[in-house]
Structure 1
Amino acid sequence: MSQDFNHNSEIIAESPYDADAELKQQKTLEQEDCVHVGLRVRDMRIERGLTIRALAERCQLSANTLSLIENEKTYPNVNTLQLLARGLKVHISTFFICEKPKQSVVYQKRGERAIIRFSNGKLENLGDGLPRLGAEPILVTLDKSSEIPQDVSHVGREFIYCLDGNVACVIAGKAYELSTGDSLLFDASISHHWENARANSSKLLILFCTADAEDKPTEKHLGSF
């Protein structure tokens, strides 16, 4: 199932989480009827070829609880969502991405894009509304972090252009330092991650080029932080 970013709402997912704010946002999204967490969990489970029991064991939940969530008989709290995100290996914000009709032209004004915040930065989807097949452009701001993200890999190629600051892209253990104006293109099936050990934030324009509409490079990178 294709997942898209809804530019009408800001999606915030940071660690540690503000439980009250998260639950309030969940209720708001549920009332807007644009997010069905249970159905999204079920689709992601099926995509991974997992049974309810297998995913429940991964998430340290009972099979009955997971079944109730998937059938939208109960709504998961923040702790349960974190367990589900870890079990499915996705960022928790993935559960709150609204579906919207596909477009043939995407025009975005500054300040109108959805912002997904993660532990040491934020991400903006520049292709909101277009199918992912072919290219998926994102704008990433990386803050300084002492923690090294986990390596990820995905289908196709990845292009990075450093708009501002200094950042390292580590590919198969080798660090490629990027400063303002530098670019990098590589086979994204090789394990890699982005990191910023400098004092100032850095801004990157990233283009995921994939021939597999089911591959989700954005979610994989978000899950690495």
Structure 2
Amino acid sequence: MDIGQKIRDLRIQKNLTQEELGERTDLTKGYISQIEHDQSSPSMETFFDLLNVLGQTPAQFFAEGRREQIVYPKADQVEYSDEERGYQLRWLVPESNENEMEPVRIRFEQEGVFKTFEPSPAETFIYVTHGKIALELGEARYIAKSGETIYFHATQQHRIVNAAKGISEVLLVATASYL
């Protein structure tokens, strides 16, 4: 395990510069650089201070973590049907509600309506793959048909409804806390 590289990767994930990490741990930028380039080894106390700022426990830091899943086969996807409202929701990435984005496919039956959402800081992207849908955003109503996209900030109450005379389908990607 390359300890310096792992510290560097964690620092970058936290959007910290070497200088900022140094300020939070009472170390110099130069010393942080030496640690990251394996030119110096921190004391145990310094190492624990670094991990604390980087949001890691020693067990997390040294765990030989499983490889990040990149490809999600159809068998991993989860589907939910709401027959009363006339839609099927398929989570394309399992446990995506723990990520920054949550991609789903929604298939609407004729007159299908997805639930109403309260205002939130989420951003939402919708690509209509089949049919036509309406976004009711506050008092406004926006229509998009197959091949068109909708992008909005969810700062008002909103819902998505099928605006076609048949089946419609969308790919929806929302930032955290949407669904």
Residue 132 (structure 2) pairs with residue 203 (structure 1): no
Contact 1:106-1:127 at 8 Å conserved across structures: no
Under a length normalisation based on structure 2, what TM-score does the superposition of the two structures give?
0.54
Aligned counterparts, 1:132-171, within 5 A:
132-145=98-111, 149-171=115-137
Q: Which residue of 1 aligns with 2:77?
A: 113
Distance 1:131 1:104 in 2: 16
Under a length normalisation based on structure 1, what TM-score does the superposition of the two structures give?
0.44
Give me the identity figure in percent: 16
Task: Tell me which amino acid in the other structure corresponds to 1:207.
Answer: V
State which drifts further: 127-136 or 166-175.
127-136
Question: Which has the higher Rg, Structure 1 or Structure 2?
Answer: 2
Distance 1:168 1:199 in 2: 12
Cα RMSD of the aligned pairs, angstroms, is 2.5
Cα offset for 1:154? 2.7
Task: Tell me which amino acid in the other structure corresponds to 1:138.
Answer: V
Cα pair distance change 1:104/1:169, threshold 3 Å: same
Distance 1:122 1:149 in 2: 12
Higher relative contact order (CA 8 A, sep 6+): 1
Task: Tell me which amino acid in the other structure corresponds to 1:113.
Answer: Q
Cα offset for 1:145? 2.0
Aligned counterparts, 1:44-63, within 5 A:
none
Q: Which residue of 2 aligns with 1:23?
A: none
Contact 1:162-1:182 at 8 Å conserved across structures: yes
Q: Structure 1: 5+ residue runs without aligned partners?
A: 1-101, 219-225
Distance 2:156 2:169 in 1: 23
Cα pair distance change 1:177/1:109, threshold 3 Å: same
Q: Summarize deviations over 1:7-26 as a string: whole Å, max 9, x none.
A: xxxxxxxxxxxxxxxxxxxx
Distance 2:75 2:141 in 1: 33
Structure with the largest fraction of strand = 2
Cα offset for 1:150? 3.5
